[in-house]
Amino acid sequence: MKDKIETIILEALNEVLEDNGIDHKLNSEDILFGDKGILDSMDLVNALVEIESRIADEFDKDISIVNEKAFSMKNSPFSNVNRLTEFVSELV
């Protein structure tokens, strides 16, 4: 299941990048947000909404990625694809 979640995340993130004219295919280690991040805050929000939608379609489960737990974590789940995949997997 974790591999499927990572695929969903990468597809959604790459779609957001493409929509913004950014010619870069993300991998699991790319920094998403923050210092040297490839996404600005609006891109991140758009990507997270798209990920939530795709997770709901694929797993028939509604999740909220942006929640209190996400913001209270020492290592942000939004920093790279690996961390985001781990975090979303816990929610699903």
Residues 6+ positions from 49 with CB-CB distance below 8 Å: none
**Angle between helices 41-59 and 2-19 in degrees, nearest 10:** 140
pLDDT higher than threshold 90 for residue 64? yes
Query: Which tokens hold the place of 92?
Result: 């699903």
Mean pLDDT for all residues in the chain: 92
Choosing among 1.10.1200.10, 3.90.1150.10, 1.10.357.10, 3.40.50.720, the CATH entry for 2-91 is 1.10.1200.10
Residue 52 CA, chain-centre distance (Å), reads 9
Give 84's pLDDT tier (boundaries 50, 70, 90).
Answer: very high
